[in-house]
Amino acid sequence: MKIARIGPVGQEIPVLVGENGQLRDLRGIVDDISSQALGDGLLDRIRQSDIGALPLIPASGVRFGPPVADVGKIICIGLNYTDHAAEVGLDLPGEPTVFMKGCRPSGANDPVRLPRGAEKGDWEVELGIVIGKPGMYIEEEQAVDHVAGYCLFNDLTERSYQMELGGQWTKGKSFPGFAPMGPWLVTGDEIANPENLAIWLEVNGHRHQDGTTANLVFGVAAIVSYLSRFYALEPGDLIVTGTPAGVGLGHKPPVFLKPGDVVHLGIDGLGEQRQTILAWED
Ligand code: MN
């Protein structure tokens, strides 16, 4: 099952995404896809409803907002693909590298503004995990029970803020608009194995990242279990699991985003995103 939120910023409505991209209005079932609704069994309520009776909505030209209205924490895993750690010259960590993103998620295809004067904007296609059931000290064997579903995510980064100003990575990760999420939240029953999905990203039609989630160092269950030792995981929390090789920083010499660039990314079964890069003043 795929669910999403469509409409202008701040006015999104919940929809079910069917075969061939058909959209059905979910407002007869729920006001919005919120963390509270996810925690209160929204996915089961949709499954038990008469899908065919839900009104169809014309799908052409719609904007997809983030598929959860009020994502709580955005917890990020760094250096979680062997090839990516090598390209940025950092050792593979023995324990998961964890940092937070401090901005709100944006829509899959919303434009991305670069920080004023910044020249090292970079891309990171990632598999996102949305939590559906609260928990702490979650065993790996139970981790999947706490997952509402998966989504596509671009962990946009200003490398100069991340790596040249001292302190913590979060400075380079939290600029407004640096968290495109979606277009959909895809439930686990539709993803046979989240650790065997093609994951890719192109800039201006040139493929930079071309990987597979099979190369995750710490997999989905391990990450959920590990993070639950440190964080109370709550419905609506988003965990993004790291990026494969091919980021701009990994090129020799490095390649960074500039206004006018178009970033196009996707993961098998989780849809695609396309962002136009703008200057802060645009
Ligand atoms: Mn990342």
20, pLDDT greater than 90: no
Encode pLDDT of 46-61 as tens digits. Answer: 999 999 999 999 989 9
Residue 132 near residue 1 (C-beta atoms within 8 A): no
Arithmetic mean of pLDDT, 83-94: 86
* Residue of 55, 62, 180 whose CA lies nearest to 110: 180
Quote the pLDDT of residue 27. 97
Q: Please give the distance, rounded to the nearest whole angstrom, from the Cα atom of residue 191 to the centre of ligand 1.
A: 22
What's the 92 CA to ligand 1 centre distance in angstroms? 14
Q: How far is the CA of 151 from the centre of ligand 1 (A)?
A: 14
The Å distance, Cα 242 to ligand 1 centre, comes to: 4
Collapsing DSSP states into helix, strand and coil, what is residue 214? Answer: helix
**Ligand 1: distance of its center to the CA of 122 in Å?**
10
| 240-271: pLDDT as tens digits | 999 999 999 999 999 999 999 999 999 999 99
Per-residue pLDDT reduced to its tens digit, 173-225: 999 999 999 999 999 999 989 999 999 999 999 999 999 999 999 999 999 99
| Cα angle 214-99-153, degrees, rounded to a multiple of 5 | 50
Cα–Cα distance between 15 and 7 in angstroms, integer? 10
User: How far away, in angstroms, is 199 Cα from ligand 1 center?
Assistant: 13
Contact 135, 30 (CB under 8 A): no
Task: Tell me how far the alpha carbon of residue 80 lies from the centroid of ligand 1, in angstroms.
Answer: 9
| Domains located in the chain, CATH noted | 2-57 (no CATH), 74-278 (3.90.850.10)
Q: 213 exposed, middle or buried (CB, 10 Å; 0-12, 13-18, 19+)?
A: buried
157-158 and 13-17 strand pairing: unpaired
Three-state DSSP string of 98-144: EEECCCCCECCCCCEECCCCCCCEECCEEEEEEECCCECCCCHHHHH
Cα separation, 18 vs 16, in Å, equals: 6
Which tens digit of pLDDT belongs to each residue from 116-131? 988 999 999 999 999 9
pTM over 0.95: yes
Output DSSP code: residue 188. Answer: G
Over the stretch 143-164, which tens digit does the pLDDT of each residue have? 999 999 999 999 999 999 999 9
